[in-house]
Structure 1
């Protein structure tokens, strides 16, 4: 079915949306306004993310507010609360420790840790010291960790003794650039690496003797601050370079797209091992002076509802995969909890199906606001806003300060803008926003290939409707070419999701001698449904009725779990590789590898 437009949220008496008039703000917005809002002085030529996220709060009442509320995975434990002042001191001690070890501006500090306060201390302390912070998934195996640290020329890695033994010890002595292993805990025994240039440092005693006062290094706006890795379809991962100026985009996009206000209780469920968990799980919310909820445990539906209830979460930023998992449990579990504190819901990680937007409205009393961005963009580019109607299934409209369009690129590298509404092409962004990646580390040619003049080609196919809303079609290399039709897998998956038995779906093209490709669907079922031929035909019948025989899947395969990244994206290329016996490429971010 086609879902009706969801009317914009009605603001409460006390909280008006930060972006009240989209058209007016978009027409007049300049990124200098972000600098002005954060009192960034162009005269000094200095800008440091940690200074904006932490230092400036020490001059206001925000310093006594709770910055982090940590929920341990240990049963019956009480939340640990850390104020902005206390987090600032911890970050200062960490920065002091780094400089005492001889680390200098630009050195790369990697972090392999679970979601604990120490991770946030390390991220902010690294930035204060002028070093580059690069997060790693704690679920990574040894090989993807080694690949990223070698590409990133790691100087130090922050981790725990358990993770060191399990994921580093077997290879770390051969690391060409690594000088320090900084352990967050002190084990009874630990084998030293067979490398005299590599030192294990126990952080607890070092931090205890490090100064809680530290003058943040006066980095420049274009100095590298963050190194995020994104998986390639084949070969090694790419290191996307982000600079300190990115904080301007982190701040403004969190205000516009997430509607963050000071003193919000904010929960971003993304792991800081990927870009959302850093940009919007650490930097942006701290810039706004909110209280962050940090949950150490993995997803569990009842626990998540209890957190929303007990921690009085007001703004919740999560992933479509998590939303669909909650949908599996039906509305009953949600209605056992008091979720009245919630005022804004947002989603990221992969396109959000229309059904999930409406489910939020019907079950939680609020719609989910989908938004779109990439590791390369560093921040939200297109969003559904609190003050605007939602078209379920749409990515929304471009952020103020962002120029987006639909285009196509010829084999000769020439660009043609597509101006007709609803015509499919590649989503492009005009360069110049503060969080735009500045390169792929050591891969200049690959970086240049992503641009035509000053337009960044995202690799995502989309269309723009007559109202200026953008609609995701699929990755350019995911689109299925069948009998002259270009079929976007997301469109097919969204229809499959409308069937009451379907919990998740992934769609690929299978080679066919007659039509080029035919559509095959992989489906995961909700509890209580059994995979059989009758159900398969029922789901296929819905798809044919809604999409027509040319677009609907020709076959369905039922799977208990579809391969997904830790950020929640269904890995269609991996479904295709496994189906056709092709090389799987980089699978280091694969969720099922845990």
Structure 2
């Protein structure tokens, strides 16, 4: 079978009438003003993500509908939270913040697994006009402290166990942090000096709350994404992003009022916030949230037992399901499941066809970035799939292939099939408004009206876009963006390490895994014991998701004459690829 064969859609493939069925007409008639009118006006005339996502449904009479069903292994039965209950909980959290003197514009960081309190803090913080930044709970102490310090976080919401393991020893290194609100993982109370018991504060707070007035341009979310050099970048998003979240939920995910929806992404990553929380809530549907990590049998059980209709997941997870074999999937029927989408890294054609052959539905890839705040290019239900393609631009999104000129302008490439940099015409509501405290870095992302994504792509004659690669060295592992510099810096804190260079090495499951090359200080010799020690050091500092999976010793790392480590050359030598231009290589390396 030719895996590049186009999957043509028929009426039999569409179990409900799709929201998006006439590509040209919908794009031509689209306007963001119309989306704003669809969401409706708030009582104060402003725009607040949390009010639109929660209170709007309560006021329209849908308060009894389930917003979230929280699942956990070995715990109590699934906990259902209705929209009315979510409104009450988020109001209480908003009032907890006000009791502490936390106000509009203050930064709240959340470090927790997918527990109910994470979603309460996210939405309650937005109601208070705060800027909210969820962090991945698998981060190690150093990435946590780095991000909190960059964002000048004044409040941290976390669990007692995560606090003791990852925050307590670093507390003095986070000078902006004023309040630590703890959730007891055993369901009881916490009594750790210098912290506050969130459950007790929630019980004493009132659920009567008037939302702090916010406009579409007020800061709402702070998502960190890694670069090839320097510290992580803090991408600033505003309350107006709700328009993109709603529109893309309609067009790219085809959400309908009676859907049972499951996004497997953790809110510590932008997908888990935008599409694990905000977009489904804006559409007033029921979301499944599983507290556990990946397990093939468990996931198939959730799809079956919960009657999931729309499933949004990642290529890494799909490849892990493929690895588990077809029998694990075929012991259950997924009669309600009607749409599967994937994001995080390019989805290989084998996975698209595997979905169709094993689950009965092809998997629809889509593309976006932390900076875009929402899905920009997608394969959608009504249209044919070209396996391996990321699809076509959604309504409200104008994309192009460009080349950067020496004067900084972006020259459009009109010829189909020509590779260039993927660019988006600026102006969509969820476009990031800044890199926190890095104005020059932000400006470099734009050439007049075009946002330059840093991704290389090509467009075919039918308007479908195909991912080619990155213009930089960012590593994509299991959908997570990992900056080499952050990993190198952590390794170099070990007394044995003189220099470190980090690359992404292809992996059949994760897409890429982190491999580090290190040169040693005088007095240290390469050994298996030292390699294992450095791997452990990386895991303790960075967390398992970011730390190197492999380490190799080199006498010297290849460098440019200006002293920059040539990661490109490390990768070429590791993978047996052409080394390309080495004219800037330092003599003797």
Q: Residue 453 of structure 1 is aligned with which of 448, 454, 457?
A: 448
CA distance in 2, matches of 1:216, 1:521: 47
Aligned to 1:318: 313
Aligned to 2:469: 474
Q: Residue 426 of structure 1 is aligned with which of 405, 421, 433?
A: 421
Deviation, structure 1 residue 264: 0.6
Residues 268 and 277 in structure 1, CA contact (< 8 A), matched pair in contact too: yes
**1:110-151 Cα shifts (integer Å, max 9, x gaps):** 000011111111111111111111000100111000000000
Aligned to 1:286: 281
Secondary structure of the equivalent of 1:171? helix
**1:281-312 Cα shifts (integer Å, max 9, x gaps):** 00000010111100000000000000000000
- Please show how residues 143-222 of structure 1 align to structure 2 within 5 Å: 143-185=142-184, 191-193=192-194, 200-222=195-217
Aligned to 1:64: 64
Aligned to 1:501: none
- Please show how residues 371-450 of structure 1 align to structure 2 within 5 Å: 371-450=366-445
Secondary structure of the equivalent of 1:177? coil
Aligned to 1:101: 100
Residues 319 and 508 in structure 2, CA contact (< 8 A), matched pair in contact too: no
Residues 403 and 413 in structure 2, CA contact (< 8 A), matched pair in contact too: yes
Deviation, structure 1 residue 189: 7.0
Length, aligned pairs only = 500
* Structure 1: gaps spanning 5 or more residues: 194-199, 480-488, 491-518, 527-562, 565-569, 586-594
Deviation, structure 1 residue 578: 8.6
Secondary structure of the equivalent of 1:169? helix
Deviation, structure 1 residue 73: 2.8
Secondary structure of the equivalent of 1:460? strand
CA distance in 1, matches of 2:242, 2:350: 33
**1:177-206 Cα shifts (integer Å, max 9, x gaps):** 11100112287775535xxxxxx2111111
- Please show how residues 198-277 of structure 1 align to structure 2 within 5 Å: 200-277=195-272
Q: 1:316 to 1:188 in 2, by over 3 A?
A: closer
Deviation, structure 1 residue 230: 0.3
Aligned to 2:359: 364
Structure 1 residues 87-96 or 370-379, which shifts more?
Answer: 87-96
CA distance in 1, matches of 2:53, 2:14: 28
Secondary structure of the equivalent of 1:154? coil
Q: 1:578 to 1:79 in 2, by over 3 A?
A: farther
* Structure 2: gaps spanning 5 or more residues: 477-502, 511-537, 540-544, 559-564, 568-589
Aligned to 1:31: 32
Secondary structure of the equivalent of 2:157? strand
Secondary structure of the equivalent of 1:242? strand
Secondary structure of the equivalent of 2:58? helix
Residues 183 and 190 in structure 2, CA contact (< 8 A), matched pair in contact too: no
Secondary structure of the equivalent of 2:70? strand
Structure 1 residues 411-420 or 333-342, which shifts more?
Answer: 411-420
CA RMSD of aligned residues (A): 2.9
Aligned to 2:49: 49
Is 1:22 paired with 2:23?
yes
Q: 1:216 to 1:523 in 2, by over 3 A?
A: closer
Deviation, structure 1 residue 414: 2.6
Deviation, structure 1 residue 576: 11
CA distance in 2, matches of 1:137, 1:5: 37
Q: 1:303 to 1:123 in 2, by over 3 A?
A: same
Aligned to 2:495: none
Residues 234 and 584 in structure 1, CA contact (< 8 A), matched pair in contact too: no
Q: 1:272 to 1:5 in 2, by over 3 A?
A: same
Secondary structure of the equivalent of 1:109? strand
CA distance in 1, matches of 2:31, 2:327: 46
